[in-house]
Chain A
Amino acid sequence: MSNLLEIRGLKVNFNLENQVVTAVRGVDLDIREDEVLVLAGESGSGKSVTALSVTRLLPKTAEIVSGSVNFHWVDLAKLDEKALVSIRGKEIAYIFQEPTSYLNPVYTIGSQLSEAIMLHHDKTRLEAFKEAVELLDLVKIKEPKRVIDDYPHQLSGGMNQRVFIAMALACRPRLLIADEPTTSLDVTVEAQILQLLMELKKSLGFSLLFITHNLSIARRIADRVSVMYKGKVVEEGDVEKIFGSPEHNHTKELIRAYEKIGKI
């Protein structure tokens, strides 16, 4: 399988008032066509910063010091902001842990979804609304015609995450980056969302980069696993290899926690 995304030597600093913090110190990461890569590691290890660097969604204090991000043979690190806008959302989409902080509380689900659709497609509002209903159906929301008129606060955490997924997939991206999207959900809801993502990946065909601190998710969905520790990828391999013969101490630690409380 060929690589869809290749990150090489990525280094990211935060330039704070009186110090420079290096968050990512030379990360190499490959994501292949049509695979699920789970990026695992403890909090603060640099997973989110790595993910956000891909399309430069970083806060203003952050600086990509060096590295390349090849997506389809294009180095995203070299693209200007205008060119990146056409990649973000359209080719590479994100979902995050707290969907409600990305959904606008004062607009209905329908108007936000159709807005996202119109942003990238030449469609009338009516056409976009029709497609919004189809998207809600795609993410297995029952009664999409009713939910389309709801506001985010009227929906449960799991439902909002489904809406967020629908929005991310509106433009049929080739890469979906999911940064801990199930971390604050109930276990039963988490299981449903993981299942949904796998079904959507199968039917729509995209690569998935899934970020988590919990290896039980890798066990469920990963083809390959990369483990980050203190700003570096310290181990990567097929899911069987990672669980069967882990090498790095941090990988072993993650597996011990998984064996103990990541499953019953």
Chain B
Amino acid sequence: MILKVENVVKEFKFERGFFKQEAGVVRALDDVSFEVEEFSSLGIVGESGSGKTTLAKIIMELIPATSGKVVFDAERITNFRKDAQIIFQNPYNSLDPKMRIINTLSEPLLIHGIVPKKHFRDKAVELLRMVGLDESLLQRYPIEFSGGQRQRICIARALATEPKFILLDEPISSLDLTIQAEMLDLFLELKAKLKLTYIFISHNLAVIRHIADSVIVMESGKIVERGLKDAIFNSPANTYTKLLLEAARG
């Protein structure tokens, strides 16, 4: 086990109406618990608003939980900011438009002292190759790239710190289906080659089917079904899971 999520609850305060006459809390996560095994890949599905991104942010310590906790195995994740990385859905606003690719990739190398400064360029080239890009792109800016290329650069940046765990929040949802298929292969290849552990969030069950070993289904902040991939796909118990499968069958 590399990661344990224990009874996590997250509430957001909200106000509504011109005079803020309505106020209250939304419970975005309601008592969520699960474990992730090392070298495995956990798929999380659920429709928008079900709490997936909120959960991702809590796991990555980007926002605090209202109650409950997230525990990483201290023997495996020794330096959290280095060993655990996140990749977001939108490759368009997750890269600094004013930074050349070489600098985007060098930044984490410098912060975490991955290699000496004189090797930054070599390492950056190695990272680009790993994600299927050419070194000729090093001096270019994000604006010159397509969505798929940008997401590859985001992956290269995440890999720069030599992480053990990567949380992917709908990493391919905004891309063309053909590019999604390519990226999926890349994620599988990297996982095997670099011995990674994944949490992979997606609303597409066909994607989850390729990448996950086990699956969690979320609805309105709650886990409504969980199990090994084959069990979920072959004999779903929950009505909502069945609905998702139905929609994906077309």
Residues of A whose CB lies within 8 Å of any CB of B are 42-44, 157, 184, 186-191, 213-216, 219-220, 253-254, 256-258, 260-264
Complex interface bits, B67-107 against A, C-beta within 8 A gives 1, otherwise 0: 00000000000000000000000000000000000000000
Q: Any chain A CB within 8 A of the CB of B181? A: yes
Residues of B whose CB lies within 8 Å of any CB of A are 47-48, 146-147, 174, 176-181, 184, 203-207, 209-210, 233, 243-250
Inter-chain contact total with CB atoms closer than 8 Å: 74
19 contacts between A and B (CB under 8 A): A42-B179, A43-B146, A157-B48, A186-B203, A187-B47, A187-B205, A188-B243, A188-B244, A213-B176, A213-B178, A215-B177, A216-B250, A253-B178, A260-B210, A261-B184, A262-B250, A263-B206, A264-B205, A264-B206
| Inter-chain pairs besides A191-B247, A262-B177, A264-B245, 19 sampled, C-beta below 8 Å | A42-B178, A157-B48, A187-B47, A187-B244, A187-B247, A191-B246, A213-B176, A215-B177, A220-B250, A256-B181, A257-B176, A257-B181, A260-B210, A261-B180, A261-B184, A261-B204, A262-B250, A263-B250, A264-B205
Which of A157, A186, A191, A260 is the one whose CB lies under 8 Å from B250?
A191
Which residues does chain A contribute within 8 Å of B248, judged by CB atoms?
187, 263-264
- Do A214 and B250 touch (CB < 8 A)? no
Which residues does chain B contribute within 8 Å of A43, judged by CB atoms?
146-147, 176
- Do A264 and B48 touch (CB < 8 A)? no
Query: Given A188-B244, A263-B248, A264-B245, does the pair A257, B206 have CB atoms closer than 8 Å?
Result: no
CA A43 to CA B179, docked complex, whole Å: 10
Query: Given A43-B146, A191-B247, A254-B177, does the pair A261, B203 have CB atoms closer than 8 Å?
Result: no
CA A120 to CA B51, docked complex, whole Å: 43
Which residues does chain A contribute within 8 Å of B180, judged by CB atoms?
257, 261
Which residues does chain A contribute within 8 Å of B47, judged by CB atoms?
186-189
Which residues does chain A contribute within 8 Å of B179, judged by CB atoms?
42
Which residues does chain B contribute within 8 Å of A216, judged by CB atoms?
177, 250
- Do B178 and A264 touch (CB < 8 A)? no
- Do A258 and B243 touch (CB < 8 A)? no
Which residues does chain A contribute within 8 Å of B178, judged by CB atoms?
42, 213, 253-254, 256-257
- Do A214 and B245 touch (CB < 8 A)? no
